[in-house]
Structure 1
Amino acid sequence: MPTPVFKLEYAPFGDAVKEQLKRRGYEKPTPIQMQGWPLLMQGWDLVGIAPTGSGKTLCYLLPLLEHVEVQPALRTHDGCVALVLLPLRELCQQIAQEAEAWCKYSGCSRRVVSCSTGDRGPELGRCDILCASPGKLGDLLSSEQYDIDRTTYIVVDEADDMLLRPDRENASEMITPLQILMKSTRKDKQTLLFTATWRDGLKDIKLDRGLRVAVGGTDLKACERVTQRFWCPGRGDPADPWQWKQGETKDQALVKAIRFICCSREFKAGAKVIVFVNASADPRGNVERVVQLLEASEILEPGDIEGFGRTRSLWYSDDIYNRFRDESCPQPRVLVTTDVLSRGFDFFTCAWVVNHDYPAGGKNALLKYVHRIGRTGRGDRTGTALTLLEELELRFAKEILPIATANGHRVSDYIWLEAECRNVWRYREAYREQNREQMQARTPREAETPLASFCEPLPNPWDVDVPWPDWGSQERYEFPPL
């Protein structure tokens, strides 16, 4: 096993690359880079697991450039030497831009192409580094416009999202383009899998000369540089004006949160904000509605608030995305989006993440939450994540608490109390009351369906050694709709 690289002076790269790393603020390699760089330079296959913002991209990108530089020149119809697989077209563009920048720093004259939009088969000739999504690559392979017989270096970023089906955590059932890819490449290839969140289904993946490097273990955890805050109606300090007051709607709380962020030191210094909302049946629904809400509040100047979604043209979406990532571009300051931008994106200017809605998705909701708040706190910077929790959403407090307190951060007392199932009976009755009202509005035949229970099985309240809540307060019986 090679010795880890503890100092930049010992990194296995040229002086120009080391100098650029220092200019970017790296005083020493991150933990995943300390272990990953020497292993990859010796040709090992690797499964890298590290929290969001821990330098995974540079961990595989710099050895990739060294590998490509020593390969023979490509002929006209040869495929790429290095292939980077990513789940989204915006991620393909981001990694391709990063690779082009580091090619310039290192003096590498190889060609980088992002196969993210349209039919780019004719442009892929003599392409040394290809960044593509499995769908686009699968289309090229099936149309026989392109082959990857020359490829010897493969990176699968966001591996848990790419290799596992969303409905079943079974690595043997890969998505079709990626399955074709893994079978058609050369036997001497070097394969790298990187992810921020480890799932049990990935244990079934076997690499020829594979090692697994897990920074801090494989348990789900958030970035330690992100401070997590929560607002719940009527649960904060009554004397604090920056709290979600009882009787206010979630939209009113969001406007108050943006006003609070605008008064922060980071925002006045030029930092930016991402607001996450859940996708609705109408693709434009929540994003457009929240953008109009914030624009009507007149908190910021025109053009400071934009929405990013799949319904707009690719050119318009790319323009918003690139301007938000650009540190020199002052607008937009606030970007409203869905989970489409929650994985893998580097927003170094983002100091705040606001979750207007707690992520939907059942057992994967907490995983989505970790990726959302990971859009801030990139590199060595710090960030803050603010989540708006309605009364009934406090039922997720038990799963949120270990993530929020793992790095020594303090959370509100009511999050601790709700995590200990203090008010589970109250939530169960409120949830059943909502279902009862919905059943009464249906047809008689539909109303015969049994009422959905809030959680099964319910814990025994007598096993919890905490005082009972004040049942005399009438405010505790008022619950906003889900």
Structure 2
Amino acid sequence: MAPAAAAVAVADDEDDYEDYIPVSKRRATDALRFRLCKPAAPSSTASLPPPPPASTDNKASLLATHAQLKHSTPELTATERLIQQEKELLEDLSSTAKPLVPVAQAARGITYTSPLHTGWKPPLRLRRMPRGRADELRRRWHILVEGDDVPPPARDFRDDLRLPDPVLRVLRERGIVRPTPIQVQGLPVVLSGRDMIGIAFTGSGKTLVFVLPLVMLALQEETLMPVVPGEGPFGMVICPSRELAKQTYDVIETFLAPLRQAGFPEIRPMLCIGGVDMRTQLDVLNKGVHIVVATPGRLKDLLAKKKMNLDNCRYLTLDEADRLVDLGFEDDIREVIDHLKSQRQTLLFSATMPEKIQNFAKSALVKPVTVNVGRAGAANLDVIQEVEYVKEEARIIYLLECLQKTPPPVLIFCENKTDVDYIHEYLLLKGVEAVAIHGGKDQEERQNAIEFFKSGKKDVLVGTDVASKGLDFPDIQHVINYDMPAEIENYVHRIGRTGRCGKTGVATTFINRNQTETTLLDLKHLLKEAKQRIPPVLAELVDPLADAEAIAQESGVKGCQTCGGLGHRIADCPKRERQNSMAMAASRRDQYGGGGYRGEM
């Protein structure tokens, strides 16, 4: 290259040359730019100089970009932030929950899109019922439905549902002439083969909604192809407690005996619960069984030992479904479902069905129909709720006064077994005919206590929440909560033992300083919803959710989506905190084996 040309090239390079800027100086410049990007305080009148123009050669820092994006995003109100937080919490809970489907079905990627076909059809006049007329009937009975192609409501057992004469005769003998609201809509849905989530207050007749179609299905299957020894069942009902399973089994037997006498095929049910000799259950299985009513533990045991199979099971009901999940039976239910070989009709029933449980259940259902009579978790309006502030040491004395409010029988609920035994002994010393029931007693004692109480031989039943889940005591006029349960769902189930089948009842609840403010707020809102008297001690409580109504309107959800409590939102739910604590404890047991380091000490 010529010298002159070389000199020109060097001059050009010097013109494009930029001085090196140290890192510390660049950071200081970016920090200054970030501070200048922030908006001025409202009280300040001084005008800040505009930020220096960004160099076209250097990219904007991440801090400056974040500040610009933050100021360009519209500011959320407190209500909108709370709703967004709840959505994130629910999404997090839903993402950790596995779908309630058999492992083999999930592994093969099998997805059912059509519900099961049954031999039942609504009468022609129901099928031709205009949609507006069906909606009008549902509004009249306060029935809320969700789902596609919902069958029309049926108002008569004989003409609309076409049940056999022996079944109709049993219903008349039990004083059941017309269907209740949950039966009006629930029975057509279940008889037509649809998956269903049934929500209705306690004592509304939910048991018949899944028992009658189950009996009809068993009759149909036995007629088409009789059961051979060792085969079955066609349908299964899973309950959270032995007492509820025994009660459901007795209801099924009530309908099967007249059908056998009328010449219908023999249907063999089986009660599969712990505390009962397994040889008796195996004898029924060896003959071939049509219907199984079970608790999760014994059912899982029989399936693991290959004493029973679910190859032909096409009908699965989870009674008190939310209780099954809350009481730690979720893993047992999953093991049972893994034994199902084909598509089945799945039904879930409860009086308290929080949004979280409904979303979890829908993962296993095919085109489900949700039938809701009233708000999920609402108290029975036929129960007069009385709340009394009673000091801890005065409860046992005041208990005797409360027993004189109404004639027997009376139910008394306690949180722990020790209080049950203490009250039982105290009442016996005072000459009160009382029996007790809790999880620490063997099955024979528990069953005898229930039978003595139902038959009227005993006036008072003292028990833990094991007696609150679905048990039917038709003549109870009074329920006493010796202590307020920690979760509002248990309170709803407890007071639901009275005021059943259209009758009225009284529920008296003792509260004091031992209850948390969250629980008392839930109770206050529940009383307000049911238009009951709110005692001064609850009325004085300051509600932290002053704009709860606005939140409910914007989010479309009233109260907590985990437990159904109206006095708090999901972020402050004590039930969610308890479940998280249990999950952490379980993870530690898995890691360290059985009990952490304590097992090695």
Out of 418, 428, 432, the residue aligned to residue 541 of structure 2 is 418
The whole-number CA distance in structure 2 between the counterparts of 1:419 and 1:381 is 35
Q: Residue type matched to 1:123 in 2? A: V
Out of 271, 277, 284, the residue aligned to residue 114 of structure 1 is 271
1:392, CA displacement in angstroms?
4.9
Contact 1:397 1:419 in 2 (8 A): no
* Higher mean displacement: 340-349 or 288-297: 288-297
Q: Which runs of 5+ in 2 are unaligned?
A: 1-149, 545-570, 573-601
Are residue 407 (structure 1) and residue 530 (structure 2) matched?
yes
Contact 1:12 1:37 in 2 (8 A): no
Sort the Cα spacing of 1:286 and 1:392 in 2 relative to 1 into closer, same or farther, 3 A: closer
Are residue 124 (structure 1) and residue 276 (structure 2) matched?
no
Out of 266, 273, 296, the residue aligned to residue 429 of structure 2 is 296
Matches within 5 A, 1:15-26: 15-26=165-176
The whole-number CA distance in structure 1 between the counterparts of 2:181 and 2:506 is 23
The whole-number CA distance in structure 2 between the counterparts of 1:63 and 1:15 is 15
Matches within 5 A, 1:40-59: 40-59=190-209
Contact 2:227 2:290 in 1 (8 A): yes
- What does residue 196 of structure 1 align with? 351
Q: Residue type matched to 2:400 in 1? A: V
The whole-number CA distance in structure 1 between the counterparts of 2:458 and 2:167 is 32
1:371, CA displacement in angstroms?
0.8
Matches within 5 A, 1:41-120: 41-71=191-221, 72-107=225-260, 108=264, 109-116=266-273, 117-119=276-278, 120=281
1:221, CA displacement in angstroms?
0.6
Matches within 5 A, 1:447-458: none
Are residue 225 (structure 1) and residue 382 (structure 2) matched?
yes
- What does residue 469 of structure 2 align with? 343
Contact 2:498 2:504 in 1 (8 A): yes
Are residue 287 (structure 1) and residue 444 (structure 2) matched?
no
Out of 140, 153, 156, the residue aligned to residue 4 of structure 1 is 153
- What does residue 183 of structure 1 align with? 338
The whole-number CA distance in structure 1 between the counterparts of 2:327 and 2:271 is 24
1:109-150 Cα distance to aligned partner (Å, 9 max, x none):
201110113423343231111111111111111111111101
SS at structure 1 position matched to 2:540: helix
SS at structure 2 position matched to 1:212: strand
TM-score (norm 1): 0.74
The whole-number CA distance in structure 1 between the counterparts of 2:246 and 2:520 is 37
* Higher mean displacement: 315-324 or 48-57: 315-324
Contact 1:53 1:374 in 2 (8 A): yes
Sort the Cα spacing of 1:251 and 1:159 in 2 relative to 1 into closer, same or farther, 3 A: same
The whole-number CA distance in structure 2 between the counterparts of 1:42 and 1:420 is 46
The whole-number CA distance in structure 1 between the counterparts of 2:304 and 2:208 is 31
Contact 1:394 1:418 in 2 (8 A): no
- What does residue 317 of structure 1 align with? 446
Structure having the larger proportion of residues in helix = 2
Sort the Cα spacing of 1:33 and 1:175 in 2 relative to 1 into closer, same or farther, 3 A: same
Sort the Cα spacing of 1:231 and 1:144 in 2 relative to 1 into closer, same or farther, 3 A: same
Are residue 251 (structure 1) and residue 396 (structure 2) matched?
yes
Contact 2:229 2:285 in 1 (8 A): no
Contact 1:48 1:195 in 2 (8 A): yes
Q: Residue type matched to 1:94 in 2? A: Q
- What does residue 210 of structure 1 align with? 368
Matches within 5 A, 1:139-178: 139-164=301-326, 175-178=330-333
Matches within 5 A, 1:301-380: 304-326=433-455, 330-360=456-486, 365-380=487-502
1:310, CA displacement in angstroms?
3.1
TM-score (norm 2): 0.60
Q: Residue type matched to 1:402 in 2? A: H
1:168-199 Cα distance to aligned partner (Å, 9 max, x none):
xxxxxx73331122232132321111111112
1:201, CA displacement in angstroms?
2.6
Sort the Cα spacing of 1:418 and 1:118 in 2 relative to 1 into closer, same or farther, 3 A: same
1:37, CA displacement in angstroms?
0.8
Q: Residue type matched to 2:154 in 1? A: V
SS at structure 2 position matched to 1:22: helix
Contact 2:388 2:535 in 1 (8 A): no
SS at structure 2 position matched to 1:156: strand
Identical pairs, percent: 28
Sort the Cα spacing of 1:419 and 1:351 in 2 relative to 1 into closer, same or farther, 3 A: farther
1:420, CA displacement in angstroms?
5.1
Sort the Cα spacing of 1:121 and 1:176 in 2 relative to 1 into closer, same or farther, 3 A: farther
Q: Residue type matched to 1:121 in 2? A: L
1:413, CA displacement in angstroms?
4.1
1:188-242 Cα distance to aligned partner (Å, 9 max, x none):
3211111111123320222123211111243x21111111001114xxxxxxxxx
The whole-number CA distance in structure 1 between the counterparts of 2:478 and 2:392 is 25
The whole-number CA distance in structure 2 between the counterparts of 1:394 and 1:123 is 49
Sort the Cα spacing of 1:255 and 1:204 in 2 relative to 1 into closer, same or farther, 3 A: same
The whole-number CA distance in structure 1 between the counterparts of 2:513 and 2:343 is 55
Instruction: Tell me how large the CA RMSD over aligned residues is.
Output: 2.3
Q: Residue type matched to 1:140 in 2? A: L
SS at structure 1 position matched to 2:317: strand
The whole-number CA distance in structure 2 between the counterparts of 1:372 and 1:320 is 18
The whole-number CA distance in structure 2 between the counterparts of 1:165 and 1:346 is 20
Q: Residue type matched to 1:3 in 2? A: P
Out of 495, 509, 530, the residue aligned to residue 387 of structure 1 is 509
The whole-number CA distance in structure 1 between the counterparts of 2:478 and 2:435 is 16
SS at structure 2 position matched to 1:227: strand
1:292, CA displacement in angstroms?
1.8
1:276, CA displacement in angstroms?
0.6
- What does residue 171 of structure 1 align with? none
The whole-number CA distance in structure 1 between the counterparts of 2:420 and 2:392 is 24
Q: Which runs of 4+ in 1 moved over 4 A?
A: none
Contact 1:121 1:140 in 2 (8 A): no
The whole-number CA distance in structure 2 between the counterparts of 1:347 and 1:247 is 29
The whole-number CA distance in structure 2 between the counterparts of 1:317 and 1:181 is 26
